[in-house]
Structure 1
Amino acid sequence: MTSESLSPTSTDDPVAAPPPGCPAHGTGPGGLRRLYGPEAEDLGAVYERLRAEHGPVAPALLHQDVPVWMVLGHGENMQLVRSPHQFTRDTRVWNKLLDGTVKADHPYMPHIAWQPICSHAEGDEHLRLRSAVNGAISTIDHRGIRRHINRTTQHLVNQFCEAGKADLVSQFSDHLPMAVMCEIFGMPEEYNDRYVQAARDLLKGTETAIASNQYVVDALMRLTVRRRAEPKDDFVSHLILHPARLTDEEVSEHLRLVLIAAYEATANLLANVLRVVLTDPRFRARLNGGQMTVPEAVEQSLWDEPPFSTVFAYFAKQDTELGGQRIRKGDCLVNGIAPGNVDPRVRPDLKANMQGNRSHLAFGGGPHECPGQDIGRAIADVGVDALLMRLPDVQLGCEEHELRWRESLSNRHLVELPVTFVPKPQQDVKARPTVHPMPRQRPGGQVDLPQTTTTEATTAASTVPSGEPTRVQTPEPARRPGVFRRFLRWWSGN
């Protein structure tokens, strides 16, 4: 088959049928593989079959058998996101939307419908909108937010610490990011179970996704109207007052963009990091032994289990070529983060440690690179560190093979993460934490290490809500700065 004959959105060339015996038989129209439904319950396996059959860019079918290109290669994904002269995120140019193939009830309509946001804009309009978002993000008090992350973590752990068991998905990772984002937006009253579930649901492509999206949008519009009338010192007010002069619709839509992207990505990231800590003895040993810090563990997870599996979508501005495939003007291309991260051309050994390598695709790239990635990292770093400090003996409460995922084109979400631990008393979230005595130094520079997690000293310093930290004299490890120096970095927001 020629690459041109495989064009999934061609209107003037028939798609060639697969030969007899081809595994594509019985999949979808034209023999193309579906990225949804029971035929795609394991999308990772589907991506690898597509890679084997078509290379780094493959034709596939979205919900309702809408044809798209799935970008699988690491280099091809980087070219996709970094070539605004060839590809745009403006859905209004999608040929299958223009010719009526994509219906108004399509489950991905919350993603497909054009919105007045920087993600769908380009050129001067993109600069105007993106500058407002970046400006508002720059006003966030990172030191204060890290303290809020810690306090929220302590509050969440207090709700289950006395039971000796918990589900770290439904009781922790699903809630911490939303609580933090509602605090950043100045809308803590909106944080509740319903808001968390609506944020989860709108990305799944379910029958209720459109209604869930509307529930979130309505709350954000109410907030926008309130802050327009009475500005405060928060993210929303700074977005409204930015010289870019965003309209109420532009403000609320950008709030939705930041909220959902930050929430979903960080909820998945938290669950994934904790899962690996609980199931991989080598990973936990490196973390406990100081060979790996929590931020480094987060980066490894961003390679192995990116919070978003894909970004939907990019569109060809002209006839072009990508990964050896003929792409026609208006064709839809799915930014394949998960398959790109395991491209055998850049990761021939998937078990190799990627420590120190940040070239993963988790936060995108080019003009639409995630602007709030530092907030997501902070939530994961502080949240995981604080949880392990409170529950240093936490263990997986089931067999690893019993863990289940709920997978969609957007992401792969851990359903639950049951754990057990020795019951702990609740803590006053506003109290100064106890700093453990540092180990004494023996002759020759050797140190007696305490029998605790290495995260304890770091988190103890980072959880001080006010005042000066307790100074502790300790020899500085070869790989990490001392507790006080790390506290100063945290205090300055770094």
Structure 2
Amino acid sequence: MTYHPDATAAVGHSPDAEAGVGVAPPPGCPAHAGHAGFGGPARPAAQGLPLYGPEFAADPHLFYERLRQYGPIAPVELSPGVEAYLITSYSLALEVLRDTERFAKDPRGWRALNEGRIPPDCPVGPMMMYRPNALFNDGEAHARLRGAITDSLTRLDPYALSEYVERSADTLINAFADRGEADLLADYAAAIPLLVFNELFGYPAEHGLRLVGTMARLFDSGEDAAEANQELLEYMAGLIAAKRERPAADITSWMLAHPSRLADDELLQQLMLILAAGTEPQLNLIANALRLLLSDDRFAGELSGGSLPVQDAIDEVLWTDPPLANFGTRFARHDLDLAGLRIRQGEPILTSYAAANTDPELISDGRFGNRAHLAWSIGAHRCPAESPARVIASVAIEKLLDRLPDMELAVPVDQLAWRTGPFHRALTALPVRFPVTARPTAAAAPAAVSAAVSPPAPAAAPAKPHGSPQTAPDASDTPSQSPRAAQRRRWGSLAAWWRGQ
């Protein structure tokens, strides 16, 4: 895919191309403009479609449609000068993600990197370059590192996790409930995962509040991505030092005591992986699902027979706008043919989970209740934290809708802006407004948390059992109950039943 002055093959080269025969790409494909034939040393390099910038962020599915004209896999640019292939086909994604013989996760064989064509400050480097963690290893090394993660995650109590999410949610909602407006991204969705993961790691929440901005900068793959990466390393080093002195019932301590006997750098990298995978994608899942719930009448119950539960809204987002839209990076172990393209050893291949999930050739009678999407990936590197991620997202959303049932978007949904970057599907803000009728609810999360992320919260009322009529505004507080509000109150009752309350 990458070309040198003496190169004779380009993206999509074939035996004919090597023989000097020009092979034109199909009309409308990313390599079509300026095409001079895929054979011959004088031909300039074909350029992939850029997966960055405001145009891509505004409508990535339009870009995926353009890429499909090229075939199930097409050349793309992840950032200026950084080329890769992107899979848009569901069936080809399954094939590549499951194939450990032809494709490696370890990026140390990345051809462009080894040839010095990826600068140290490359914006996408922190998301693609090697780290000694489970994500970037194969075989026995991967099994050992992943085992420490999965064994520790399985020790989590889902009921305790749910309760902590609820307490954190109440703390955050109390901070803006009397304002009548909020940015659900900055004031809520961005903070919930960090509060939860700081608790799971056993670190005081106030130590991790700065990670909201740090994680966003890392996933944005901007000019300061390398600086954000260094901040994460420093945070994790401090966490490990603290837990060595005072181990407790938390993920960090469990991993320190794991039979795999992780070295300090290995432990740091596994924790960093859990944090990266569990915060930025998690906040985007919460925000994207809230966007859908606040804008789509199927989920608000305003169309006849159209009410659907929060879990279905989450699945809809995982199908169409997954938080990590393009990733699953693999590197060809050797020169090979894939779906009619010649891939050279060490060239990166990414999977577009968003494009594969919406593949026109994917036959389905409906997505509701169907969890065959690829949002969690598949194969040996499938996300091990799917269950806690769903708990965090669903409880956070249900608690918000229960507390603020009359909440509405403050701007038309088509005016919401998306962050740029090739990997994620992330809003820049999610402004809402609501009547100032919600009563503060007592919360056990540290007061410093709410003070750091939002204006000071009002004094908390005495704690009431979750799901009781007093938790949400009663009829006397609300002049009229819209179908949307009534539906959300039913969601709150359903959530309480689901948790056995």
TM-score (norm 1): 0.83
Unaligned runs of 5+ in 1: 438-449, 464-482
Alignment partners' CA distance in 2, 1:291 and 1:171: 27
Amino acid in structure 1 at the alignment position of 2:388: I
CA RMSD, 1 decimal: 3.0
Are 1:166 and 2:190 matched, yes or no? Answer: no
Alignment partners' CA distance in 1, 2:426 and 2:441: 30
SS of match in other structure, 2:171: helix
Alignment partners' CA distance in 2, 1:250 and 1:88: 20
In structure 2, the partner of 1:466 is: none
Alignment partners' CA distance in 2, 1:311 and 1:266: 15
| 1:351-370 alpha-carbon deviations (Å, 9 max, x no partner) | x7411111111000100000
In structure 1, the partner of 2:90 is: 74
Amino acid in structure 1 at the alignment position of 2:432: V
In structure 1, the partner of 2:458 is: none
| 1:5-32 alpha-carbon deviations (Å, 9 max, x no partner) | 543799x969969689977436994243
Are 1:360 and 2:360 matched, yes or no? Answer: no
Amino acid in structure 1 at the alignment position of 2:430: L
Q: Is the 8 A contact 2:301 2:487 kept in 1?
A: no
Which piece of structure 1 moves more, 108-117 or 286-295? 286-295
Could you tell me which of 442, 459, 466 is aligned with 1:428?
442
Could you tell me which of 82, 85, 88 is aligned with 2:104?
88
Q: Is the 8 A contact 1:311 1:410 kept in 2?
A: yes
Are 1:398 and 2:411 matched, yes or no? Answer: yes
Which piece of structure 1 moves more, 37-46 or 223-232? 37-46
In structure 2, the partner of 1:44 is: 61
How much does 1:225 deviate? 1.9
In structure 2, the partner of 1:59 is: 75
How much does 1:221 deviate? 1.1
How much does 1:403 deviate? 1.3
Could you tell me which of 202, 216, 226 is aligned with 1:186?
202
Alignment partners' CA distance in 2, 1:186 and 1:332: 36
Amino acid in structure 1 at the alignment position of 2:338: L
Query: Is the alpha carbon distance of 1:219 and 1:279 closer, same or farther for their aligned partners in structure 2, counting shifts above 3 Å?
Result: same
Q: Is the 8 A contact 1:9 1:68 kept in 2?
A: no
Q: Is the 8 A contact 1:17 1:31 kept in 2?
A: no
Query: Is the alpha carbon distance of 1:379 and 1:198 closer, same or farther for their aligned partners in structure 2, counting shifts above 3 Å?
Result: same
How much does 1:436 deviate? 3.8
How much does 1:275 deviate? 0.7
Percent identity between matched residues is 32
Q: Is the 8 A contact 1:277 1:284 kept in 2?
A: yes
Amino acid in structure 2 at the alignment position of 1:419: V
Matches within 5 A, 1:70-149: 70-149=86-165
Query: Is the alpha carbon distance of 1:111 and 1:402 closer, same or farther for their aligned partners in structure 2, counting shifts above 3 Å?
Result: closer
How much does 1:458 deviate? 6.2
In structure 1, the partner of 2:235 is: 219
In structure 2, the partner of 1:251 is: 267
* Alignment size in residue pairs: 448
Amino acid in structure 2 at the alignment position of 1:58: A
Moved over 3 A (4+): 12-24, 26-29, 37-43, 189-193, 286-291, 450-463
TM-score (norm 2): 0.82
In structure 2, the partner of 1:480 is: none
In structure 1, the partner of 2:315 is: 299
How much does 1:228 deviate? 2.3
How much does 1:227 deviate? 1.5
SS of match in other structure, 1:419: strand
Amino acid in structure 1 at the alignment position of 2:33: H
How much does 1:192 deviate? 5.2
In structure 2, the partner of 1:228 is: 244
Query: Is the alpha carbon distance of 1:268 and 1:20 closer, same or farther for their aligned partners in structure 2, counting shifts above 3 Å?
Result: closer
Are 1:7 and 2:11 matched, yes or no? Answer: yes
Alignment partners' CA distance in 2, 1:21 and 1:104: 36
| 1:104-161 alpha-carbon deviations (Å, 9 max, x no partner) | 2211221232111111111111111111100110111211110010111111111111
SS of match in other structure, 1:334: strand
Alignment partners' CA distance in 2, 1:289 and 1:21: 44
Query: Is the alpha carbon distance of 1:410 and 1:203 closer, same or farther for their aligned partners in structure 2, counting shifts above 3 Å?
Result: same
Amino acid in structure 2 at the alignment position of 1:368: H
| 1:190-236 alpha-carbon deviations (Å, 9 max, x no partner) | 45542200011111110111101111111111111221233211000
Q: Is the 8 A contact 2:329 2:349 kept in 1?
A: yes
How much does 1:286 deviate? 8.0
Q: Is the 8 A contact 2:298 2:306 kept in 1?
A: no
Which piece of structure 1 moves more, 132-141 or 421-430? 421-430
Unaligned runs of 5+ in 2: 1-7, 36-43, 444-462, 471-482
Amino acid in structure 2 at the alignment position of 1:123: G
Query: Is the alpha carbon distance of 1:196 and 1:288 closer, same or farther for their aligned partners in structure 2, counting shifts above 3 Å?
Result: farther
Query: Is the alpha carbon distance of 1:69 and 1:156 closer, same or farther for their aligned partners in structure 2, counting shifts above 3 Å?
Result: same
